[in-house]
Structure 1
Amino acid sequence: MPGGRARARPPSRAAGGFTAYLVFVVGVGAIAGFLYGYDTGIISGALLSIREEFGLDHRMQEMTAASILVGAIGGALAGGWLTERIGRRWTVTALAVVYVLGALASSLAPNAWLLIGARVILGLAVGASSQAVPVYVAELAPAAHRGRCVTMFNVAIGLGILSANLIASEFRDAWSWRWMIGAAILPATLLCAATAFLPESPRWLVGRDRTDAARRQLARVRPEGADIDAEIGEIERVVEAERSAPVRGWRGLGQSWLHPAVVAALGVAAFTQITGIEMMVYYAPTLLTGVGIDHATALRSTLWLGLVYAVMTAVGLVVVDRVGRRSLSLWMLPGAAVSLFVLGGLLFFELAGGERAWPVLLCLLAYMFFNAGGIQVVGWLTGSEMYPLSVRAAGTSAQATMVWGSNLVVTASALTLVHSLGTGATMALYGLMNVLAFLFVLRFVPETAGRSLEQIEHSLRDGTFRP
């Protein structure tokens, strides 16, 4: 009823005050995260076979691995526009279709150049999902559980990478690289089907003067007895303030009162990549074989790396709302830096490698423990929280573009750095990036845990958004 409390059917409860329907929504978002992780991670194991079949040198290997990132940048830029024009729900549906088509085209590519082109298309879905899904989930989740809900996307990325490593390691003799890449068609089809049952974001609906629809959708993802009217009222007040803002969208990001959020969010986005995580995801088998470790051991080692990534993002899911985004990053980044410095020293002075592989593997696992359990947990979360509604689509597009642009730089230069500087010096360089990430978070990133999106916006406008 207009102006009254929505009389939706009482939603069933789930653990921790979640409704079953909210769990479903978070689960659908997690499928998109799984595809992100699988489609980017499978190239790590498949690249060894692709290199042999197509006779690729190290530059063509970099292009094959990085091609998905070129598409991801385009998808990240388009994602913000789509979420504003057609809504969050239909954007997720569209990217699900692209996931299916991109995986199919990649698995059927007859040569390296067509494989690169197909992975660019696949990257469009990866980039758009990294922008759209965290925002969508953040706008539906209650403030007290928003960190956990959005971080499920990160956990699913880890599971996708782990699954890719498992298939590359254990099915390397039974499956060709085409079957490895094509396996993503199954979860992508499931994502397509599941999007038919998703709600639209209440914040997007209020922005289109569809308040009654927003109230109904919000009631579906809140426990029985929740004060829906109060939450809708808070959203309406923010929307009204945004409508009176002199500039919105991409131009709005240049407003001086937003600078603290833009700096903090984009800085965290860049450091999620330049601290070296994608170097490990894409090139770990190549690096390990380069220091004398046999192919089978190298592939199984990346399986352990994927397992640690998945476990630590899951641990982050549990603690991120309690410990806080800022604190979690500050506790974990020093460990990642030390792990890479030790690894760099071992390789530079030729103290490990070949039959003495265990120190190298131990350092890699330690790095993954600290990096995946820290800044990777909060990377997408901070971007979905810090931007006000009037610039949220543009801000999260900028966030995703920064992630994929940084990822592209790392991926397209990693093997070249190894050839130019050596593996040991390259690892030490990434260790330095983790030190810089620590200093950046310490100086520029405030805590956002436990605060509603509207409260975060108020602190930006009041000039109190600071560490």
Structure 2
Amino acid sequence: MQDNDKALSPPASVNPAQAIAQLELSPHADHMLALAATVAAICGGLYGYDTGIISGALILITREFQLPSNMQEIVAAAILAGAVVGALATGSLSEAIGRRRSVIVVTIVYMIGAVACALAPSVWSLVAARFFLGLAVGGSTQVVPMYISELAPSDRRGKLVTLFNVAIGIGILLANIVGFTLHEVWTWREMVAIAAIPAFIVFVSMFFLPQSPRWAAENIGLHGALESLRRVRNCHRTIHKEVNQIQEVAERTRDEDRGWRGLSQPWVRPALVAALGVAVFTQCGGLEMMIYYAPTFLSQAGFGASSALLASLGVAIVYCVMTLIGCLNVDRIGRRRLMLIMCPGSVLSLIGLGIVFAMHPAPGGFASWLVIAFLLLFIMFNAGGIQVVGWLLGAEMFPLSMRSQATSLHAATLWGSNLIVTGTALSLVHLLGLGGTMWFYAGVNVASFLFVLFFVPETAGSSLEDIEAALKEKRFRPEGERISILQNA
């Protein structure tokens, strides 16, 4: 990386204010941001589709390769293991070559991985291909939200970044629709291969988008940041304020605050605790368990196979709708407040679901309808709350000098938690029963509410530089309705 002063200084003969005043702003700034949001949405959709399609495809894969149950688990989990590795590896890559180029690399891996899965001649080659595909899935969850957060204006950052979450829901929904309606028309190979098409669309789109202005400022220079900002901002005054903030942060950044070493600094710890804690509760609160295993749970409760699959499709629809509603409101309501409003509903829904499961409802009776009602209510509250915020906090809470590494750790935490939940849910049901398992997850959601209440500040309306300043000045803490991030900002 270049020396900080050198990287952020314009040529000696150019005054920064004069350079900004002379910028020729693009008349298509809003269109460029819309394209960036579309890229984020497609990547989120790929994540949702590639992880969700296995539920419908696994039956066909098992039939072709005659898989025992342990091999089914390995095939399903391979993509999650790859995602952990991909999330960690992409952090260094996005710092070295930039966020935009990293997305291009990730899409190439997506395309190769999807085709490799579709052409796999044996079960172990399929496992290897799904692991390779997981590298792209994990990598995209690290770099795409970070890229969008660094490109977006602060007042629209939440909405643009959480489009990634909305698209995850759409991807899961499409995967459920494909698995439910086309399992007798398509082979599993076609179900998997189709993901290469949207990956190619993202690959082409990235050549039209600018670099992250934050990364450009630190690695190319002020002229690089201005070139990026002029393409996504429609006001010279906004650019001037943003550049000043970037420069002020860079001037205060020390060598020991950079990279992985920077994450050990005490002043960064509140952001690590808040973002990584929410990441764990995002995955461990029960929603991932419901998405992967709802048909299994409902079948164990006496529902027929068709009813269980339809209920699973309902889960995907509610998830998709609620993440969209949360996306549209997260900037207005706030990240912290949204989680605190929705979490009690998740707790009560799981308690109710546990009570009904413990009663061993007869199929087709009133209690069966209560199971579906409580299940969908839980998805509504969880998907519209913490699921909207989980990926967003990791993209906006961390300082620029260590953001790539921190978002890698954040994405790996999300994927690692997902892997743990996926690997233990059925064992938990065997140990505690369906009712006890729901009550266990209700307890996890109570813990998540208390965690947000005491450890997660409100970041809505703050620029990335405001958040970094709050960390350094020890103002990064919840305080009343609007916390101290905005004080003196």
Fold match, TM over 0.5? yes
Deviations 1:38-86 (A, max 9, x none): 1011112223333444444443333222211100000110111011001
Give 1:422 shift: 2.5
Hey, what's the Cα distance between the residues in 2 that align with 1:431 and 1:113?
Answer: 38
What is aligned with 2:110?
A: 99
Matched residue SS, 1:335: helix
Q: Structure 1 stretch 104-113 or stretch 443-452: which is displaced more? A: 104-113
Q: CA deviation at 1:224?
A: 4.3
Q: Summarize the Cα distance change of 1:297–1:111 in structure 2 as closer, same or farther, 3 Å threshold.
A: farther
Cα contact 2:302–2:362 (8 A) shared by 1 = no
Bigger shift: 173-182 or 395-404? 173-182
Corresponding letter in the other structure for 1:400: A
Q: 2:456 aligns with which of 430, 436, 445?
A: 445
Answer yes or no: is 1:404 the counterpart of 2:420.
no
1:151, distance to aligned residue in structure 2 (A): 0.6
Cα deviation, 1:144-185, whole Å, max 9, x if unaligned, reads: 111011111111111111111111122222222222222212
Please tell me the residue identity of whatever aligns with 1:436.
A
Residue 201 (structure 1) aligned to one of 195, 198, 212: 212
Find 1:337's aligned residue among 332, 347, 352. 347
Structure 1 residue aligned with 2:306: 296
Give the 3 Å change call, closer, same or farther, for CA 219–411 of structure 1 in structure 2: same
Partners of 1:209 and 1:233 in 2: how far apart? 16
Please give the root-mean-square deviation of Cα atoms over the aligned residues, in Å: 1.8
- Looking at structure 2, the residues matched to 447 and 416 of structure 1 have their Cα atoms a distance apart, in angstroms, of 37
Measure the CA separation in 2 of the matches of 1:217 and 1:190.
22
Tell me which residue corresponds to 1:29.
40
1:274 aligns with 2:290: no
CA–CA distance in structure 1, aligned partners of residues 439 and 68 of structure 2: 25
Q: Does structure 1 conserve the Cα–Cα contact (< 8 Å) formed by 2:361 and 2:368?
A: no
* Structure 1 residues 376-421: Cα deviation after superposition (integer angstroms, max 9, x where no partner): 0000111111111111111111100110110110111122222333
Write the letter of the residue equivalent to 1:36.
Y
User: Would you say 1:7 and 2:26 are equivalent positions?
Assistant: no
Q: Evaluate the alpha carbon distance shift between residue 292 and residue 337 of structure 1 in structure 2; reply closer, same or farther with a 3 A threshold.
A: same
> 2:360 — aligned with what?
350
**Contact 2:257–2:402 (Cα < 8 Å) also in 1:** no
TM-superposed CA distance for 1:354, in Å, is: 6.3
Which of 417, 431, 434 is the matching residue for 2:445?
A: 434
Q: 1:360 to 1:353 in 2, by over 3 A?
A: farther
CA–CA distance in 2 between the matches of 1:352 and 1:384?
46
Give the deviation of 1:443 after TM superposition: 1.1
CA contact (8 A) 2:282 2:386 kept: yes
Within the alignment, does 1:362 sit opposite 2:378 as a pair? Answer: no
Residue 239 (1) aligns with residue 255 (2): no
Output the CA distance in 1 between the equivalents of 2:34 and 2:208.
Answer: 13
- The alpha-carbon deviation at position 226 of structure 1 amounts to 4.5
What's the secondary structure of 2:458's corresponding residue? coil
TM superposition shift of 1:311: 0.8
Unaligned residue ranges in structure 1 (runs of 5+):
14-18
- Note closer, same or farther for the CA distance 1:395–1:263 as it changes in structure 2 (3 Å cut): same
Structure 1 residue 423: Cα displacement:
2.5
* 2:186 paired residue among 164, 175, 188: 175
Does the Cα contact within 8 Å between 1:62 and 1:411 map onto a contact in 2?
no
Q: Which residue of 2 aligns with 1:317?
A: 327
Q: Cα distance, 1:90 vs. partner?
A: 0.6
- Once the 2 structures are TM-superposed, how far is the Cα of residue 306 of structure 1 from its aligned partner? 1.0
Q: 1:255 to 1:9 in 2, by over 3 A?
A: closer
How many angstroms does 1:102 deviate by? 1.3
Greater Rg over alpha carbons, structure: 2
More off after superposition, 420-429 vs 337-346: 420-429
- In the other structure, the counterpart of 1:147 is 158
Change (3 A) 1:115 1:353: farther
Distance in 2, Cα, partners of 1:101 & 1:282: 25
Counterpart of 1:157 in structure 2 is 168
Structure-1 residue corresponding to 2:434: 423
Residue 128 of structure 1 corresponds to 139
Q: Deviations over 1:296-355 (max 9, x none)?
A: 322222221111111111101111011100000011111112212221222222025466
Shift of 1:114: 2.6
**Separation of aligned partners in 1, 2:362 and 2:452:** 33
Instruction: Verify the 8 A CA contact 2:32 2:209 in the aligned structure 1.
Output: no
Q: Which residue of 2 is the match for residue 263 of structure 1? A: 273
Deviation at 1:29, TM superposition (A): 1.6
CA contact (8 A) 1:215 1:229 kept: no
Letter in 2 for 1:205: A
Distance 1:42 1:142 in 2: 34
TM-score (norm 2): 0.90
Q: Distance in 1 between matches of 2:358 and 2:70?
A: 23
Preserved CA contact (<8 Å) 1:330 1:442: yes
| Distance in 2 (alpha carbons) for counterparts of 1:78 and 1:269 | 18
Question: 1:76-126: per-residue Cα shift (whole Å, max 9, x none)?
Answer: 101110110010001000110111111112223334333222111111011
User: Equivalent residue of 2:53, what SS?
Assistant: helix
Alpha-carbon spacing, 1:172–1:361, altered in 2? closer, same or farther (3 Å): farther
Paired with 1:230 and 1:10, the residues of 2 have a C-alpha distance of 18
**CA spacing shift, 1:129–1:417, aligned 2, 3 Å:** same
Instruction: Indicate how the Cα distance of structure 1 residues 116 and 340 shifts in structure 2: closer, same or farther if over 3 A, else same.
Output: farther
Residue-pair matches, total: 461
1:221-254: per-residue Cα shift (whole Å, max 9, x none)? 0124553122112112212222x24342111111
1:359–1:214: structure 2 CA closer, same or farther, 3 Å change rule? same
| 1:158 and 1:306 in contact (8 A); partners too | yes
**Percent identity over the alignment?**
51
Aligned to 1:16: none
Q: Secondary structure at the match of 1:317?
A: helix
Alignment of 1:62-81 (within 5 A): 62-81=73-92
Q: Structure 2 regions of 5+ residues with no counterpart?
A: 1-10, 479-489
Instruction: Tell me if the contact between 1:11 and 1:222 (Cα under 8 Å) persists in the aligned partners.
Output: no
Give the Cα separation in 1 of the matches to 2:145 and 2:85. Answer: 17
1:252 aligns with 2:262: yes
Q: 1:384 aligns with which of 382, 395, 401?
A: 395
Q: Confirm or deny: 8 A CA contact 2:178 2:191 kept in the other structure.
A: yes
Structure 1 contact 50–177 (Cα < 8 Å) conserved: yes
Q: d(CA) in 2 for partners of 1:411 and 1:381? A: 23
Conserved in 2, the CA contact under 8 Å of 1:169 and 1:296? no
Aligned partners of 1:425 and 1:54: how far apart in 2?
Answer: 35
1:27 and 1:33 mapped to 2: Cα distance? 10
